[in-house]
Chains A and B, each alone.
Chain A
């Protein structure tokens, strides 16, 4: 049934001069087209299926996840969402996560932007060392820092405190974000800074009033990245936030599917609630994210 459709559709409008042998450059035969679309469709199916299944499961009634038969819908309801929002501590965890991630974002962007600008614009003694430091700190395993940081936090009384967790996240977010900001600033012509300084701005002024606004997409992406880092982190949060009411989402959700008791209805509903806003923003900024990453990669 499908083949007639394809034979009708795939030859390009300019087909009169394309005999099967001599095909213009950059065009391909119907078979190749079908193969290409088939490959991509399979990939899309794999990438979408888990997310789609998550959403479907969350919409099943209370014990819908317990069914052993495969059904995409059985009496869709918002029961799970209601239970998550009213019957659990999810709102508290959400608040903790939002506060932590928000603070991490603000601080991280500030630190990363100024460092990235300096590394991008100035050649100063210590430039190379800074670049290396930014790269090397990205590879620090959680394992080596977590014990000293834990002791440090304990001594400063920052365990179970959101600022303590934010401080710990700086170690993850700042190096990578500074790296990303550098690659954005590299795309802003240096003549703009020079013009600004000729007009009497200090380098700080040029950075703050001229270059930073121009790099706004970069700042947005970096902010988003910082936010996501904190939003999705589990290791530090598990160790630092032991008090019931201080848990973040990554820690709290583990409770829904514990060793002795699990409720995938709650789990899937909260997973959707967590992933939806993040996903929406992500899709908005992803184009910039791509530019930043690849610019960094080609120029590093």
Chain B
């Protein structure tokens, strides 16, 4: 019916509908492509709905909150049968101006960037080193592999508590070793510099296995013939590494570095549980600071939401720029 009466719209509709679908189907193209898409849409619908309701809507509301002066005192509540109406007001970009002009924000941003770069850099460097080692022919290789993966199996909050105990200045084993070596103990979490080193060390310990495993998978997908050919041509080990291994890992590296950056940037439990942001707020990264803003003292919902929006904006820009760089180097997607 549709085909016979409305030829032109149907044709354009179907052309649009099966843009990605290379199959030429002469019989009822509209209906077939529509039904294909209907299935696809039905299958993604539950997840999309969940994400829109649980992420999209809170996001919109969060952005709105960031433009108001909502705090614990002004937000509407229901206590028993008493409904307290909300009294916060729209204040435009005040929160953003306040945050972006405060030195606190820039301090935290600087530390967050250092934290992310140091962690991801060490994750990648150590992970790649171990992956290359494990990719050699080796006795006990699978045993090494399993043992090296182990930190990944430890839930982050458990890891945080383990390390807090190791760092403990009185009973911690790290100071125990230092004393054994005749040195005096260090108050690891009491001094800003050592506390920063300490949290980075924990995150590196926790994150290297993921990188190692992902890069090992990448290494194993590089054809061995390439190495053989290079060796026949007299390439040195370093040349082989630089011109075969690294390019061969580019795609895997691209994805894991992006994921690693996002995860580290947002890494909440490590800092929250090990130092609690302390001493002072020295080790507080943007995410934990925004959390603290929202849920300690007088809860500053608006300020926290503004921090969140700023963090998200930075990550989206980062991801877009990153993807663009990868694509300009010929990466599909």
Q: Determine the residue in chain A with the shortest Cβ distance to B294.
A: A147
Cα of A204 to Cα of B148 in the assembled complex, Å:
41
B217-A293 in contact (CB<8A): yes
Chain A nearest CB, measured from B131 CB (Å): 11
* Contact pick for B269, options A46, A140, A154, A232, CB 8 Å: A232
**Chain A residues near B147 (CB-CB < 8 A):** 44, 47-48
* Contact pick for A139, options B16, B173, B216, B266, CB 8 Å: B266
Give the size of the chain B interface in residues (CB under 8 angstroms): 110
Q: Determine the residue in chain A with the shortest Cβ distance to B251.
A: A298
B120-179: which have CB < 8 Å to A?
126, 129-130, 133-134, 136-139, 144, 146-159, 161-166, 168, 170-171, 173, 176-177, 179
B217-A137 in contact (CB<8A): no
* Contact pick for B50, options A111, A253, A274, CB 8 Å: A111
Best-surrounded residue of A51, A122, A233, A297 (most CB of chain B within 10 A) = A297
**Chain B residues near A48 (CB-CB < 8 A):** 147, 150
Q: Is the interface of B mostly helix, strand, loop or mixed?
A: helix
Given A267-B161, A294-B214, also A36-B138 (CB < 8 A): yes
**Chain A residues near B62 (CB-CB < 8 A):** 144-145, 147-148
Cα of A39 to Cα of B137 in the assembled complex, Å:
15
Cα of A146 to Cα of B311 in the assembled complex, Å:
14
A78-125: which have CB < 8 Å to B?
110-112, 114-115, 117-119, 121-125
Name the segment of B1-9, B89-97, B302-310 touching the other chain.
B302-310
Indicate whether A17 reaches chain B with its CB closer than 8 angstroms: no
**Chain A residues near B61 (CB-CB < 8 A):** 148, 151-152
Chain A nearest CB, measured from B38 CB (Å): 9
**Chain B residues near A294 (CB-CB < 8 A):** 213-214, 217-218, 221, 252
**Chain B residues near A125 (CB-CB < 8 A):** 16-17, 19, 37
Indicate whether B106 reaches chain A with its CB closer than 8 angstroms: no
Q: Is the interface of A mostly helix, strand, loop or mixed?
A: helix
Indicate whether B40 reaches chain A with its CB closer than 8 angstroms: yes
A275-B287 in contact (CB<8A): no
**Chain A residues near B146 (CB-CB < 8 A):** 283, 286
A144-B312 in contact (CB<8A): yes
**Chain A residues near B16 (CB-CB < 8 A):** 125
Given A25-B231, A46-B205, A115-B43, also A40-B130 (CB < 8 A): yes
B255-A300 in contact (CB<8A): yes
A44-B144 in contact (CB<8A): yes
**B184-212 interface mask toward A, CB cutoff 8 Å, 1 = contact, 0 = none?**
00000000000000000000010011100
* Contact pick for A167, options B54, B129, B156, B164, CB 8 Å: B54
A194-241: which have CB < 8 Å to B?
202-204, 207, 228, 231-235, 238-239
Cα of A124 to Cα of B311 in the assembled complex, Å:
32
A53-B136 in contact (CB<8A): no
B304-A282 in contact (CB<8A): no
Indicate whether A174 reaches chain B with its CB closer than 8 angstroms: yes
A42-89: which have CB < 8 Å to B?
43-44, 46-48, 50-51, 53-54, 57, 65-70
Indicate whether B44 reaches chain A with its CB closer than 8 angstroms: yes
**Chain B residues near A151 (CB-CB < 8 A):** 61, 75, 301
Indicate whether B272 reaches chain A with its CB closer than 8 angstroms: yes
Given A234-B273, A278-B153, also A143-B287 (CB < 8 A): yes
Cα of A234 to Cα of B161 in the assembled complex, Å:
12
**Chain A residues near B286 (CB-CB < 8 A):** 141, 143
Chain B nearest CB, measured from A35 CB (Å): 9
**Chain A residues near B304 (CB-CB < 8 A):** 143, 146-147
Cα of A67 to Cα of B55 in the assembled complex, Å:
48
B39-A203 in contact (CB<8A): yes
Chain B nearest CB, measured from A300 CB (Å): 6
Chain A nearest CB, measured from B240 CB (Å): 11
Given A232-B158, A297-B255, also A136-B36 (CB < 8 A): no
**Chain A residues near B117 (CB-CB < 8 A):** none
A54-B162 in contact (CB<8A): yes
B157-A232 in contact (CB<8A): yes
B40-A118 in contact (CB<8A): yes
Chain A nearest CB, measured from B333 CB (Å): 6
B227-260: which have CB < 8 Å to A?
228, 231, 251-252, 254-256, 259
Q: Determine the residue in chain A with the shortest Cβ distance to B315.
A: A139
B14-28: which have CB < 8 Å to A?
16-17, 19-21
Chain B nearest CB, measured from A55 CB (Å): 10
Cα of A121 to Cα of B20 in the assembled complex, Å:
12
Question: Can you sample 19 A-B contacts with CB below 8 Å?
Answer: A36-B138, A39-B129, A54-B165, A57-B165, A68-B170, A70-B176, A125-B37, A146-B291, A146-B295, A148-B61, A148-B305, A155-B78, A171-B50, A174-B47, A232-B158, A234-B269, A239-B295, A275-B155, A278-B155
- Residues of B at under 8 Å CB distance from A? 16-17, 19-21, 36-37, 39-44, 46-48, 50-51, 54-55, 57-59, 61-62, 65, 75, 77-78, 126, 129-130, 133-134, 136-139, 144, 146-159, 161-166, 168, 170-171, 173, 176-177, 179-180, 205, 208-210, 213-214, 216-218, 221, 228, 231, 251-252, 254-256, 259, 262, 265-266, 268-269, 272-273, 286-287, 290-291, 294-295, 301, 304-305, 307-309, 311-312, 315-316, 319, 333
- Which A-B residue pairs are the 6 nearest by beta carbons? A144-B308, A294-B217, A123-B20, A143-B290, A232-B155, A148-B58
Q: A43-B130, A264-B165, A275-B154 are in contact. List 17 more A-B contacts (CB 8 A).
A: A40-B130, A53-B166, A66-B171, A111-B47, A121-B40, A124-B20, A139-B262, A140-B55, A142-B291, A151-B61, A203-B43, A207-B43, A228-B155, A232-B158, A253-B161, A297-B217, A300-B255
